[in-house]
Chain A
């Protein structure tokens, strides 16, 4: 600070002490705000680690580490099969991506390349309204419409509660996210690239496919990873629509009920704490929470790496 406040001839321009004190107070406040968010993240991890370690220690003491790889996730019976909830989480997120990627990218392409300014003025707010629907409303919609009228009509063997209907609802939830971020990425592609392509004789569809999309790929990938991690962390929809609230067997059947990591935590936190047998059910909640935290961390790191790799500098 002192360097910048001295002119070449050595005159001190930094002002009187009161002014400097005010500046440092303001600087301190903003620094505190920044450090607070780091501190909160650390506090979350520390609070999870304590009880998660108690959970693992409890299993080790009871000589029961095998409970982490067993027939299903039934925490109130002492069965803590981690693959069950991880598989269900990934399955539902994949179904959500299958729904959201075509819809989201299609909407983004239309909005950025094809829509007239007036159409854009109407459609973009509607897309944002979709983003504003509370997840509990989508969960209820999945339960009362997608489950009985869509999934059960197409696949007669499915039940009202299924990972497929929850996945479709999560897909609808994350579509606006994919659309908004992808559209921003595509609009950021310089117009000169498009004009060069038209100049070479390409039509609009070819330009979009061969010039615009590849140029925007890093932003689009960022949007997909963002949407995927949002889908991984979605709780209310899967809690209501995927069923299996008390626990589920390890299954790959999308047409049946399943319990994701988030739904498992929600069910443990809001349900009864009566257990049959030993009582590590509540601590398993912290273990699953920590697992979820690390999954999201991994995805964030991955997204940073991929985005940096593909970034095109114009």
Chain B
């Protein structure tokens, strides 16, 4: 039983898989955003449906219902986000002239099409967020079943929004070993599940290339306010710390950076937190060196500058 513990089949230069190469974030070529802005502010708003009858894990996404069936209590807390929170967040972003990339569960488009209308009316980007939070992609999912989930998500969201959907975010940042290949195969251009960099990089799959976009996990409202149970004062301080540090590095390296903010309608969309969101966004967007962009705009700007093979 212990014999294979001392055998190391992937001990070699580089990583222990072939999806991308190891390279220091700080030794990459310089990145430039439009008008020489130092920071791309990339706001993602997850718009989610948490089914009451979600199957038992292998993987429970952060925020998944956890009080036992039928968990009306948690369901309705998350549902507050699609009834109230998302519109409150839209008002705040409208007031500041900001657009977001909404990572949308396909089920939201079929159950609550009004949300999709409001997203497209604002020219926000729609990023495919999987079927819903009860359909988590994971290593034990069959290839054909996962392909169907991805195609159904893509078709539902592109039909309801009338647009090509270029970005993908897996529920709970969770993938199988086939997910990246299936995304490339089905026309996706970028993926946001990997939390290992501050800037985009290219991924290689059997079906072609994908751009990995650095959607924050560490300073998402979900981790700070729900998982770690911190206060909004701590949330504000940590997000602003990240912004200040990344901005200073962009100056020093002469290479632009991204500030990713993940804003959940069922977390920051509550009345006791929305004021903090508005204040944080105002402080960041008041800085003259911020480019307000969607995920696709950032990925496109990156790919134009970094045509390097991997």
Q: Do A and B bind each other?
A: no
The chain B residues found within 8 Å of chain A, CB to CB, are none
The chain A residues found within 8 Å of chain B, CB to CB, are none
